Chain A
């Protein structure tokens, strides 16, 4: 069972109720992927409602926790592979990511949690991603 959550989303107390429950019930087949991209709508997570060390919190909540570079596909795959071993602890994988990664205009915009996309921007951004994909496949 895989859950994918954002970091701003972890402001909600309900998330932490669920984490406490998952650890108490020893849900070793649960993997929580946390997209630690450091931004939410009103600004940086550290400014709106600082969460502190997310990996340390997950560990303290009883999760088997690792933190990896979320932009490194092989690192993420390795962290996921580890979770196959099961056990009596739920897993947390904290993905250290950059919001808008791969699209320069999005990455370099400070308030980039929500950016409107028109036809022109869509074509330009898809072009950037397609070029990256072609480079990887080449």
Chain B
């Protein structure tokens, strides 16, 4: 038996864990491509991404297009991982994820960070409360709501349109 959680707070910032996890996954799996929508600074990936422009794509603040690009990469045989803040990784790009991901049966791993009220500093526009609900009704999806005290590294893995996220 392995004790996964002892009640202690992990002192690392979420973005440190997430950035290191993404870097590890993309480094180990040459088919994986990481995409972001001008929030690499928040996912802890910016420095690494700049050194690996062939493995990381900053799509700019264009989440719908990022989902489309991800679907295109999946069609081409890659395993795309996309990231944005929770509301933009769900509401804003939902139709593209639904059609090009779910309906088209293209695997896209979606990471939405700064869930719910934890986005307080950025205000109501950045607070998602319906992200899990939206992805839960997307046929074929797997939703993983990550606890802040567990490493998201245990949760993020390609394979089916996923929302690994709101807890990150």
Which residues from chain A sit less than 8 Å from chain B, CB to CB?
A: 8-9, 11-13, 40-43, 48-49, 111, 114
Subset of 6 A-B contacts with CB under 8 Å: A12-B62, A40-B38, A42-B36, A49-B60, A49-B62, A114-B41
| A13-B64 contact in complex given A42-B40, A42-B46, C-beta closer than 8 Å | yes
**A114–B85 alpha-carbon span in the complex (Å):** 15
From B41, B59, B62, B64, contact of A41 by CB (8 A): B41
Say whether B62 contacts A40, CB under 8 Å: no
Of the listed residues A8, A9, A48, the one surrounded by the most CB atoms of chain B closer than 10 A to its CB is A48
The 8 closest A-B CB pairs, nearest first, are A49-B60, A11-B60, A11-B61, A11-B62, A42-B40, A42-B38, A41-B41, A48-B60
Smallest Cβ distance from B100 to chain A, in angstroms? 15
Which residues from chain B sit less than 8 Å from chain A, CB to CB?
A: 36-42, 46, 58-62, 64-65
Q: Report A-chain residues with C-beta under 8 Å of the C-beta of B42.
A: 41
Say whether B60 contacts A41, CB under 8 Å: no
| A42-B64 contact in complex given A8-B38, A111-B41, C-beta closer than 8 Å | no
Q: Report A-chain residues with C-beta under 8 Å of the C-beta of B62.
A: 11-13, 49
**A13–B46 alpha-carbon span in the complex (Å):** 23
**A13–B67 alpha-carbon span in the complex (Å):** 13
Smallest Cβ distance from B155 to chain A, in angstroms? 24
Say whether B65 contacts A42, CB under 8 Å: no
Given contacts A11-B59, A41-B42, 10 further A-B contacts (CB under 8 A): A11-B38, A11-B61, A11-B62, A41-B38, A41-B39, A42-B58, A49-B38, A49-B61, A49-B62, A114-B41
Say whether A12 contacts B41, CB under 8 Å: no
Closest to B60 in A: A49
**A11–B59 alpha-carbon span in the complex (Å):** 9
Of the listed residues A11, A42, A49, A114, the one surrounded by the most CB atoms of chain B closer than 10 A to its CB is A42
**A11–B61 alpha-carbon span in the complex (Å):** 5
**A41–B59 alpha-carbon span in the complex (Å):** 12
| A48-B65 contact in complex given A40-B38, A41-B38, C-beta closer than 8 Å | no
**A118–B58 alpha-carbon span in the complex (Å):** 30
From A9, A49, A114, contact of B59 by CB (8 A): A49
Smallest Cβ distance from B119 to chain A, in angstroms? 14
Smallest Cβ distance from B96 to chain A, in angstroms? 11
Q: Report A-chain residues with C-beta under 8 Å of the C-beta of B40.
A: 42
